[in-house]
Amino acid sequence: MSEITTKQGKSSISVKQLAVSAIAIALATVTSYLKLFHLPMGGSVTLFSMLFICLIGYWFGLRTGLIAGVAYGLLQLIIDPYIVSIPQVIVDYVLSFGALGLSGLFCRKKHGLIIGYIIGVLGRYFFSFWSGLIFFGSYAADYGMAAPVYSLVYNGAYLGAEALLTLILLAIPAVQKGFARVKVLTTEE
């Protein structure tokens, strides 16, 4: 299998992983436009866009998943930016989307896709919560809430709704079998 190597000669990612990851990022980008609803200060429920990034981690492991998550976050920054400050951009786009790659922690586990997806979304929620608290907490008073509660509710609304829809999809046996088959095809040498 062809591999891309670093200057030190270490293998970093195979050509197959790069190609499959590019396709998954493209699918995530396309599905990010299929919005069920969009919140005023960023965040939306899409048709499974986070799933495609989590699949990369599930298929290829933590490192590739994190790299793909960060790449997708930077792509989202270019396509649909909501910028308050440079630190907010780092938290909302690099760390938050990068956290979806945490799904790679469970790439070799039974029910790894479902568990990995949940962990990836919780990672994204963690960073989105902190971003909401730090950079958008001043809006909480408009809704009669404390900043932490506001951030938990605001970010939980769109991330939780999309996660629930995705978990329902992943609970369908035919979908589980299909993704398991795709994993075999993407990881075999």
pLDDT for 27 equals 98
The 10s digit of each residue's pLDDT in 7-34 is 565 667 899 999 999 999 999 999 999 9
Give the H or E element holding residue 14.
strand 11-14
Does the structure show a pLDDT above 50 at 47?
Answer: yes
> Is the CB of residue 36 less than 8 Å from the CB of residue 45?
yes
Instruction: Give the pLDDT score at 3.
Output: 55
Task: List pLDDT tens digits, range 88-134.
Answer: 999 999 999 999 999 999 999 999 999 999 999 999 999 999 999 99
Q: How far is CA 167 from CA 15, 62, 118, 121, 164, in A?
A: 30, 21, 8, 11, 5
- Which pTM value belongs to this model? 0.92
Residue 83 — φ and ψ, nearest 5°? -110, 125
